[in-house]
Structure formats: structure tokens, C-alpha cells
Amino acid sequence: MKPPETLAHVRAYEGGAAWLTRLPDIFDQCVENWNLTKIGATYGGSNVSFAVPVERDGDAAVLKIQLPSPESEHEAAALSIWDGDGAIRLLAHDRARCALLLERCEPGDYLADASDVDPLTVVSDLLPRLWKPAAAPFTRLADAATLWAQEMPEAWQKAGQPCERYLVDAAIDYLTELGKSQRESVLLHQDLHGHNIISAERNAWLAIDPKPLVGERAFSIAPLVRSFEFGHRKEATLYRLDRLSDELGLDRDRALGWTVAQTMAWSFDGGYVATHHQTVRWLLGRSS
């Protein structure tokens, strides 16, 4: 097995080059330990993990090997709590190798690419099933908010100041305010966008790749409000905010604030910098 070229960019991440070097050995060990057969072609949609279809004892599955990171550290724990209710099932977990054996979903199409369903209806049905009571070992949203607020000015500087400073300041204000006034905490999927919801036979749609946190429900629609695959226009963005807040019984102002905050915190690394900043301008009413 060779690491796919789609993972070459992780060499720039802390520990990424070493992980890519170890990846073939980790793969071989997982195949042996879990008695995996019929290994298929690598899935191309993953940016920071290696995933392939496999079989174990004749049953279809997916082997996922993760680049170690704080965001993905407790993915297995989140999947265990959901236990297939709204998310794919965890079949086995090798903590030392950051490897997961997962339920394989067929046909496995992305919600972002579906033309025959209303994606917001899908999300309104899916999210409440993911809001399970949880505490340790997950990072608290309040703690994540504090860290994002501390790191954001330096991240903005290192990225070459790619947006107006008022966007950074607005995000820090929201992080400070909302982080101190948390409502009832539940398990959150902090990256639930149109390419992390896939079609399946067991349920019509299931969540994948959770990057879990524990915090208030209003945070959970942030990645969906900024999901440009569902329409990158001011009207479409505000419609998603308004409709999901209403249908899920969320505080719209807090949902807006969390969307601004997390979108900015995640906006200085990756390929969607300008897109994310435009979304924040719309949410703050500073751009048409």
C-alpha cells in the first residue's frame, strides 16, 4: 500500500510526514489484526485520513486510519455513544494506531450531491438524534471557544491578514460571550456539512467524521449554515440559519454567533478562506 497523493498535503501538518511514513505499516497491522480481506480502492473524499473498503468475516466494512489530532481524537467514543442512531456504526477501534473499522454505507452518496431530497429536511431529522447526553472524554465547547479566541489573531497574522480585522474581532467577541453562557450540553458533530452526511440502506442518511465536542445545541448548525454546497449566496445562507433555527427550536442569535465564531476560527487554513470570510460578512450584515 502506498499513501495516496490526496494525502500529500498532510506533510505540512505537525507529525504529518512521520505519519505518512508509518501509514503502510499501520495498514498492514490492521489488516492482519482484524483479518481483513477484499480490500478495495482508497476513498478519495478524505483529507486527513486513509479510508478503504474492506471485508471482515464476509461482512462489508471500511478501514479508516486517522492522522492523530485533537479534533479526531475522540471520534470512536462519539460513534460508540450514537451506536448507529443517526451516524455510521463503529465496529472496532485500535486506539494505539488511530484506526477504526466502520460500517460500510451503500450507496454512500453525499447529501451535498443529492438532487432528489431537501437537504435541510434531512438535517432537521438527523441532528436531534445526535444530541445525546455526554461529558468526558470530549472537549467542551466553552474550552474550544477560549482556545479559538486566543489563537485567532495570530492565525490571521500568519495567514497574511486575508480579511478585514473587524471579522476577527467580531468572532472573538462572540467566542467570549457565548463561551461563558453555555446552555444545556449535548454531544455535537462540529463538522456536519453536506459531504459528511452519506446515503445508506439501513437509514436514508447517516453522519460520518464527527470531530466531536460537548456543548449547546445552537452551535451544531454552524457548519450547515456555511455549507456553500447548498448555495453560496447571502439569501441562501440566511435562509439556512432561519429555517434550521426555527425547525430545531434553536436561539437564532446564538446560532448566528456560533457560526461566525467557528467559521472564522477555521478560516485561515484550507482551501475555502475567501468563501468562509464572505459568509461571515453576510451574517454580520456587512456585505450584499
Could you list the active site residues?
191
Q: 118 burial class (0-12, 13-18, 19+ CB within 10 angstroms)?
A: exposed
Question: 3-state secondary structure string, 50-119?
Answer: EEEEEEECCEEEEEEEECCCCCCCCHHHHHHHHCCCCECCEEEEEHHHCEEEEECCCCCCEHHHCCCCCH
Q: How far is CA 208 from CA 82, 167, 263, in A?
A: 11, 30, 20
Residue 133 phi, psi (nearest 5): -60, 140
Residues 6+ apart with CB under 8 A from 164: none
- For residue 70, say if its preceding peptide bond is cis, omega within 30 degrees of 0: no
Q: How many helices (H) and strands (E) does the chain have?
A: 9, 9
Residues 6+ apart with CB under 8 A from 161: none
3-state SS assignment for residue 16: helix
Cell readout for 262 is 467557528
Instruction: Please choose, from the candidates 102, 94, 104, 72, the residue with its C-alpha nearest in 3D space to the C-alpha of residue 25.
Output: 94
- Tell me which residue has cell 503502510: 24
